[in-house]
């Protein structure tokens, strides 16, 4: 899963560096974002945010308008990039297009995978928008970043209904049935389904689980996997090559690329969407 040299301006070992250094402003911003996330993301919190956001009555806009809004967002959980999200969106999409030119659905999936981050413009703190996701309602996965100290004070850790290996779930229930920490993945997946996207279901699942690193990268939650999750994981791992290893200072010519991607938007997710 390492990138070809032509697609990486940064050594792969330098990505996703979550080491602690309180003198480094970027690393400290990332650590504090995860601290707030892990302290506050409980079963009750997630249910409340789902109740709030899944009414889809926040704003109506096109995909292009939503992408252009991301011009003003820098992800406070990302240790690899300090550029607006729209640039990363086109970086990822172009990488997918280069490797799988025949899968236009994958190109669009890469372009819109972070669109759910628009929640940050409508009152949601970034710790409930960005960053790696995890399942709530069961024991937190061992590979979660900052796992050892950042969950201290989260009441679900003291709740016997939620702090066991299975928690509220049945063995091999499938990742589709997990209650995920609230963030842009789950929100955008729900936006796609609500707006009746023509993207294939696997594309929606890529968006839903692309930040679920403790599962697809860390090897946690295997006891909750169902057989059909193997296909989802396969495509998420393919996609994450574009999501992660295209993060560089090379900025694509967005205006030149718009016509192609607008044809994909018109094909799979046209018109004005309800967010």
Q: Is 114 annotated as a binding residue?
A: yes
pLDDT at 75: 64
Q: Is 78 annotated as a binding residue?
A: no
Q: Is 117 annotated as a binding residue?
A: yes
Answer yes or no: is 117 within a domain: yes
Token pair for residue 251? 């900025």
Residue 133 CB contacts under 8 Å (≥ 6 apart), including other chains: 180, 181, 183, 185, 186, 209, 211, 212, 213
Question: Do residues 146 and 34 touch, judged by C-beta distance below 8 A?
Answer: yes
Answer yes or no: is 3 within a domain: no
Count of domains for the chain = 1
What number is the average pLDDT over the span 175-198? 98
Q: Is 184 annotated as a binding residue?
A: yes
pTM (2 decimals)? 0.89
Q: Is 76 annotated as a binding residue?
A: yes
Q: Is 88 annotated as a binding residue?
A: yes
Q: Is 142 annotated as a binding residue?
A: no
Token pair for residue 231? 């296909």
Question: Do residues 215 and 221 touch, judged by C-beta distance below 8 A?
Answer: yes
Answer yes or no: is 193 within a domain: yes
pLDDT at 12: 42
pLDDT at 76: 63
Q: Is 201 annotated as a binding residue?
A: no
For residues 72 and 13, the model is more confident at 72
pLDDT tens digits, one per residue of 24-66:
777 888 899 999 999 999 999 999 999 999 999 999 999 999 9
Q: Is 107 annotated as a binding residue?
A: no
Q: Is 216 annotated as a binding residue?
A: no
Q: Is 220 annotated as a binding residue?
A: no
Answer yes or no: is 17 within a domain: no
pLDDT at 13: 40
Question: Do residues 40 and 32 touch, judged by C-beta distance below 8 A?
Answer: no
Domain limits at 267? 43-274
pLDDT at 6: 34
Answer yes or no: is 7 within a domain: no
pLDDT of 20 strictly over 80? no
Answer yes or no: is 11 within a domain: no
pLDDT tens digits, one per residue of 228-275:
999 999 999 999 988 876 556 678 999 999 999 999 999 999 999 999
Among residues of the chain, what percentage have pLDDT more than 70?
87
Q: Is 211 annotated as a binding residue?
A: yes
Token pair for residue 112? 């819109």
């Amino acid at each position: 899963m390492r990138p070809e040299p032509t697609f990486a301006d940064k050594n792969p070992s330098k990505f996703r560096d979550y080491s602690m250094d309180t003198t480094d402003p970027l690393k400290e911003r990332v650590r504090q974002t995860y601290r707030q996330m892990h302290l506050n993301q409980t079963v009750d919190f997630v249910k409340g945010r789902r109740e709030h956001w899944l009414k889809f009555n926040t704003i109506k806009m096109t995909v292009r308008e939503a992408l252009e809004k991301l011009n003003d967002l820098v992800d406070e959980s990302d240790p690899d990039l300090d550029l607006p999200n729209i640039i990363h969106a086109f970086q990822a999409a172009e990488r997918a297009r280069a490797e799988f030119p025949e899968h236009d659905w994958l190109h669009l999936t890469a372009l819109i995978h972070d669109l759910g981050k628009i929640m940050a413009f409508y009152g949601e703190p970034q710790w409930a928008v960005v960053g790696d996701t995890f399942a709530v309602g069961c024991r937190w996965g061992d590979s979660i970043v900052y796992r050892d100290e950042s969950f201290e004070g989260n009441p679900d850790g003291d709740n016997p209904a939620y702090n066991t290996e299975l928690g509220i779930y049945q063995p091999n229930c499938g990742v589709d049935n997990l209650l995920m920490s609230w963030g842009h993945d789950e929100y955008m997946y729900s936006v796609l389904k609500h707006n009746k996207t023509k993207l294939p279901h696997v594309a929606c699942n890529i968006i839903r689980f692309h930040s679920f690193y403790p599962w697809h990268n860390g090897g946690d939650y295997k006891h909750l996997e169902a057989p059909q999750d193997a296909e989802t994981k396969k495509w998420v791992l393919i996609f994450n090559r574009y999501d992660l290893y295209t993060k560089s200072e090379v900025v694509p010519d967005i205006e030149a690329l718009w016509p192609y991607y607008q044809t994909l938007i018109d094909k799979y997710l046209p018109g004005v969407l309800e967010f």
